[in-house]
Amino acid sequence: MRLVDKRWMGDTQDGKTKNPYLDDDDDDTDGIEQAPSLRQKNVIEKLPIRKRARTEVYTVEKISEEISAVTGTTNQIVSMIQQRWQKEAEEKEAEEKVGTVWDAIKEIHDLEENDRFDAMDLVHQSGMKVSFMSMTEEERFRWIKRSLRKP
């Protein structure tokens, strides 16, 4: 037996009384009312799927313009990355060609071992690596002798 709320009584097409609080499809409840969350779930499941209306018509020309814009931006990004890679490769190659400060100091034959170590400290402390590496061997020797004489 089903519970009937008289406020909601009404005849359906098949002549049965319809109560909105009871689920007509579920006869297993034996008159027990479903929880509101379950009723809401059943209603949601029964709703038809609505398609979103198109607000703008896409033509072949419009799509081509969009693709062109994306392609242009992508090409710019790729170009920037390639330039950066090339710059890094050139810097690495320049460093390999130049060698290290220590190699340049070792090439100066007239220096004593202690003077070599002092010269290495002096170059790094004064931040003159690039300038020191651009000097000739004779210029490096004179610069080291002159700088080590200073108190």
In total, the chain counts a number of residues equal to: 151
Token pair in block for residue 123: 């170059």
Q: What's the average model confidence in pLDDT over 77-92?
A: 92
Reported as a pLDDT band with limits 50, 70 and 90, residue 32 is: low
Tens of pLDDT, residues 97-107: 656 888 888 88
Which range marks the domain in which residue 110 is found? 101-149
Reduce the DSSP state of residue 17 to 3 states and report it.
Answer: strand
pLDDT recorded at residue 15 = 53
Domain count within the chain: 2
Please state, in angstroms and as integers, the Cα–Cα distance from residue 82 to each residue in 4, 48, 87, 92, 96, following that order.
77, 52, 9, 15, 21
Other beta carbons within 10 Å of 133? 18
Residue 36 belongs to a domain: yes
Residue 17 belongs to a domain: yes
Strand segments, DSSP code E, in 1-151 are none
Residue 84 belongs to a domain: no
Is residue 121 a contact partner of residue 92, using CB atoms and an 8 Å limit?
A: no
Residue 35 belongs to a domain: yes
Helix segments in 1-151, DSSP class H: 36-46, 60-98, 101-106, 113-126, 129-134, 137-149
Q: How many CA atoms lie within 13 A of 85 on its CB side?
A: 6
Q: What's the average model confidence in pLDDT over 100-128?
A: 86
Residue 64 belongs to a domain: no
Mean pLDDT of the chain: 75
Residue 119 belongs to a domain: yes
Tell me if the pTM is above 0.95.
no
Residue 116 belongs to a domain: yes
